[in-house]
DNA sequence: TGCGGAATGTGATGTACATCACCTAAGTCC
DNA sequence: GGACTTAGGTGATGTACATCACATTCCGCA
């Protein structure tokens, strides 16, 4: 499926737009290609776009003072990613985004999103529901963090996204789970 | 400030509604009073309302298999609370909500919210931004969980909401931080 | 094709936290 | 106002994880 059809199918799941409206909306998106390892948003950047993933896999991550990385999100096809804190509050990026594999994305500016949302009620409806799903996912992950040990969270992650096992190096999985790579290694190499 | 004015001021911060539109929107809210300890949503309930806090403090929490409680949110005046997962997906409550103190709330059904959102574009706009803020807060808390130790998270919480220190028993603070009450007690009673 | 860096495995050791057990003080209810 | 419950403090002990150190394997690239 091409980028336009992918986005269309994605949006029509939650909003009702006719072809003309969708074409108008789509005209604000720019397609971009990235190579594996390429940086999309770097800490300190001015952030004014968000990204809809067509193919490949990106990661959104935070690096703390001790140069330790925590991954907030693996962004797979049909997922959206950016530093939303910086995007909405017009502050510099604290979250970085880069590419785990070659990737195709559709890119939309914050201003254009707000313009579309104010012009097309159903577009605003779509973005409300998209954020909603993100909120629920984040809350679920928070609960899992408090309630489950590392092993349970690891199995939960792989059950939800089996592709990650082959696609993503283990030290990045560890950075998503919030444990050291050594601990993760010991976990799934335990004899028992 | 009375409930109606409180809600109005809250909504007008992010949306543009004239008096007639706001009065119409407000007509869907029902006012409710709760006593300290009273239960608003109990695990297993059918959930069809969300709650806007006028006064007092509620908590939204999860209880795991070992009867350990984790607090997702302390809901203070002008905050919204519910089991949003259950509310949006029409499933039974896994999150419970009850009152830490006597409380006044305005209550809105899921159906009515969706009706209002489809009728008034600016209402949809408001609810998009509300969810947005929730999403960003949740993501921030997730990062804090991965990056900071308990002491730092405790100080972060009290710096952000100083009222909690007197309003909320310490074992509930511990349940919010995701540590045992013993650990929290030792933390701030340490001599050094 | 072979070199250098990245990814991964594994042992030794330290530490933050949980858990259990028990104690005291402060509500709260008939 | 005494009895019972709830909040909170503190010691002893166990454990899941981090950290450091080093070995090994993999893999892109000049």
B2 pLDDT higher than 60: yes
* Protein CA A124 to sugar C1' C30 (Å): 58
pTM, two decimals, is 0.94
Q: What is the pLDDT of residue B190?
A: 73
Is pLDDT of A191 > 80?
A: no
pLDDT in tens, B61-112: 999 988 899 999 999 999 999 999 999 999 999 999 999 999 999 999 999 9
Handedness of CA A169, A170, A174, A179 (dihedral sign): negative
Tell me the CA distances in angstroms from B71 to B61, B161, B170, B177, one per residue in order: 4, 15, 12, 8
Residue nearest to nucleotide D20 (CA to C1'): A182
Give the pairing of strands B103-109 and A103-109.
unpaired
Tell me, what's the pLDDT at B4? 97
Confidence of residue A127 (pLDDT cuts 50, 70, 90): very high
Query: For residue B68, which residues of chain A lie inside 8 Å, CB to CB?
Result: 147
Q: Where are the beta strands (DSSP E) in chain A?
A: 30-34, 39-41, 49-55, 58-63, 69-75, 80-81, 96-99, 103-109
- The Å distance, CA of A98 to C1' of D25, is 26
Please write the tens of the pLDDT for every residue from B157-178: 999 999 999 899 999 999 999 9
Sign of the alpha-carbon torsion through B14, A123, B86, A162? negative
Nucleotide closest to B180 measured between CA and C1':
C18
Mean pLDDT of chain B: 95
Q: What is the pLDDT of residues A87-123, one digit of tens each?
A: 999 999 999 999 999 999 999 999 999 999 999 999 9
Predicted confidence (pLDDT) per residue in A41-84, tens digit = 999 999 999 999 999 999 999 999 888 999 999 999 999 999 99
């Amino acid at each position: 499926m091409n980028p336009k059809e992918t986005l269309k199918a994605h949006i029509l799941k939650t909003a009702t737009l006719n072809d003309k409206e969708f074409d108008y909306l789509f005209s604000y998106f720019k397609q971009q290609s990235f190579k594996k390892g390429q940086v999309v948003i770097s800490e300190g950047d001015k952030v004014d776009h968000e990204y809809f993933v067509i193919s490949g896999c990106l990661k959104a991550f935070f690096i703390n003072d001790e140069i330790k990385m925590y991954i907030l999100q693996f962004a797979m096809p049909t997922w959206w990613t950016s530093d939303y804190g910086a995007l909405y509050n017009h502050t510099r990026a604290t979250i970085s985004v880069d590419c785990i594999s070659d990737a195709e994305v559709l890119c939309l500016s914050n201003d254009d999103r707000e313009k579309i949302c104010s012009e097309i009620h159903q577009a605003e409806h779509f973005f409300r529901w998209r954020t909603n799903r993100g909120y629920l996912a984040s809350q679920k992950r928070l609960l899992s963090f408090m309630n489950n040990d590392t092993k349970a969270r690891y199995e939960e992650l792989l059950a939800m996204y089996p592709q990650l096992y082959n696609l993503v190096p283990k030290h990045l999985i560890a950075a998503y789970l919030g444990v050291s790579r050594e601990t993760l290694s010991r976990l799934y190499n335990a004899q028992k």
